[in-house]
Amino acid sequence: MKKENLAMLCDFYEFTMANGYFKNGYYQKNVYFDVFFRKVPDNGGFAIAAGLEQVIDYIRELHFEEEDIAYLRGKGIFDEGFLAYLRDFRFSGDIFAVPEGTPVFPYEPMMTIKAPAIEAQLIETFVLLSLNHQTLIATKANRIVRAAQGRAVLEFGSRRAQGADGAVLGARAAYIGGCAGTACTLSDELFGVPAGGTMAHAWIQMFDSEYDAFKAYCELYPDNPTLLVDTYNTLKSGVPNAIKVFREVLLPMGKTKCAIRLDSGDISYLSKKARKMLDEAGLTDCTITASNALDENLIRDLMMQGAEVDTFGVGERLITSAKSPVFGGVYKLVAVENESGEIVPKIKVSENTAKITNPHFKKVYRYYDRESGKAIADELCVWDETVDDTKPRTIFDPNATWKTKTLTDYTARELLVPVFRDGVCVYEQPSIEEIAAYCREQVDLLWDEVKRFENPHNYYVDLSKKLYEIKNILLNVYGM
């Protein structure tokens, strides 16, 4: 079987369009595409950008093999000149993106691509699948972590993920979003996401008794072992046997760090009863982990009920973002350079106003209240605009011509940073720990109202006066 080449992980119409661009000479024309989304999953207030590292790796390796060209030739519809062009194909354009871990909002560019038309078109599919998937999982993870109110959340979803990449990259994205670790060993080996695990029910069933299974495990792994206590009867045998083994095996070694895991039943009730039993046995350092089809809503309910849970293991509903399983990022043309190098804005118009795009090559500024440090608004500006945050600034709601907001005591930060220049990566990729820490810091800069699970505050993403006027001119031209 032919080794996969990710350059071919591409919607077929990208090749038909690219062939057409080559035939009519458009392939040398620089174009500008934005990646953005229209709706936050789970009706949340914001998303967490992720997947940039995989885009960088893809762009660096982007090329076509002779077997790929032979396959395309076999379709009988592609020009030989175009196929020859693909033989020496490399990405030569510019890419700007928000760093991974950044909270992002609908309609603002997460990434902007400036490149010759064929290059920009052929990378669309992979760019979208990478950003869409990991942003979805990072966003879901962040919701779950916030619901846990400081308790650790572990990603347990490998066996429920949609394929191997869904498991491995999903674990990476979950860590960016705030999870403390994963059950996925490969994600640890490849990306440094801390992997860990305990035992399955099969381990306990393999032994003659639950006690024997617990004892053997603690003798093998005496440093902070976690025992699964619900194989038979949680309160009648599981917790008592765990207590007995902890006292017989660990305490004589001077070890007090240990844990039990609840994987079924009424987690709130069982955790309270187990906590009482552990404390009465003098095992106050023993923690309780809970798993079993959890999500942010169930975890929030458990917290409200006073469940004695220290760590949550979350699987299928995290790794698949079960209630909102698709992140709707899109890739839209926003400008084209003409023969003299002038950037000409382009717009997509629709009777569905949600699908009308914001034209032009753009910058994105985030504004922070100087007193509180909290983020108060984002503004889309034309590429040649600069913001002086020592002066008041008026921004325009793109959906209401009468609505403006004037900022006075604020600081400004440009969100999109250079990633590729002339096909060369100029971005210093942070470590996974640095990305996760950055994400925590940036989410803390959002007002609590934006972070509500239900009916979050609508964060301002507005247009500069210049961009607002350009958009209106184009809408008038096209009859809106």
pLDDT of residue 307: 97
Mean pLDDT check: name the lowest of 340-349, 403-412, 436-445: 403-412
Two tokens, residue 117: 């038309």
Residue 480 reports pLDDT greater than 90: no
For position 28, what pLDDT does the model report? 84
The pLDDT of residue 400 is: 61
**Angle between helical axes of 66-74 and 80-87 (0-180°, round to 10):** 160
* C-beta of residue 105 within 8 angstroms of C-beta of residue 459: yes
State yes or no: pLDDT of 479 exceeds 80.
no
User: What is the tens place of the pLDDT at every residue in 165-178?
Assistant: 999 999 999 999 99
Closest to 300 measured CA to CA, from 263, 325, 268: 268
pLDDT for residue 451 is more than 90: yes
Model pLDDT, residue 3: 77
Q: Residue 461: name the closest of 36, 107, 112 by CA.
A: 107
pLDDT digits (tens, 9 = 90+) for 61-107: 999 999 999 999 999 999 999 999 999 999 999 999 999 999 999 99
* Whole-number pLDDT of residue 352: 87
Instruction: Say what the pLDDT of residue 301 is.
Output: 97
Tell how far CA 316 is from the center of its chain: 16
8 A C-beta contact, residue 168 and residue 156: no
Instruction: Give yes or no for a contact between 277 and 229, defined as CB atoms under 8 angstroms apart.
Output: no
- Distance spanning both ends of the chain, measured CA to CA: 52
Give me the chain's average pLDDT, please.
95
Give the model's confidence band at 401: pLDDT under 50 very low, under 70 low, under 90 confident, else very high.
Answer: low
The pLDDT tens digits for 8-19 are 999 999 999 999
- For 272, residues 6+ apart whose C-beta sits below 8 A from its C-beta are 306, 307, 308
Report the interhelical angle of 296-304 vs 267-280 (nearest 10°): 50
Q: What is the pLDDT of residue 395?
A: 81
Q: Can you give the pTM of this predicted structure?
A: 0.95
Cα separations in angstroms, 438 against 99, 366, 373: 9, 15, 15
Q: Which residues touch 372 (CB under 8 Å, ≥6 apart)?
A: none
Predicted local confidence at residue 331, as pLDDT: 97
pLDDT at 20 over 90: yes
Looking at the predicted structure, is the pLDDT value of residue 399 above 70?
A: no
Residue 201: pLDDT band (50, 70, 90) is: very high
Report pLDDT for 448. Answer: 96
pLDDT band at 353 (very low <50, low <70, confident <90, very high): confident
What percent of the chain lies above the pLDDT cut of 70?
Answer: 98
Query: Does the domain formed by 6-137+325-477 have CATH 3.20.140.10?
Result: yes
Q: Which two tokens stand for residue 389?
A: 């945050």
What pLDDT score does 26 carry?
85
Supply φ then ψ for residue 37, to 5 degrees. -135, 165
Residue carrying structure tokens 């009424």? 266
Q: Name the class of domain 139-319.
A: alpha beta
For the chain, which residues make up each domain, given as ranges?
A: 6-137+325-477, 139-319
pLDDT at res. 358? 95
Across the range 133-138, mean pLDDT stands at 98
Whether the domain at 6-137+325-477 and the domain at 139-319 fall into the same CATH topology:
no
Contact criterion met (CB below 8 Å) for 137 and 321 = yes
- pLDDT tens column, 242-260: 999 999 999 999 999 999 9
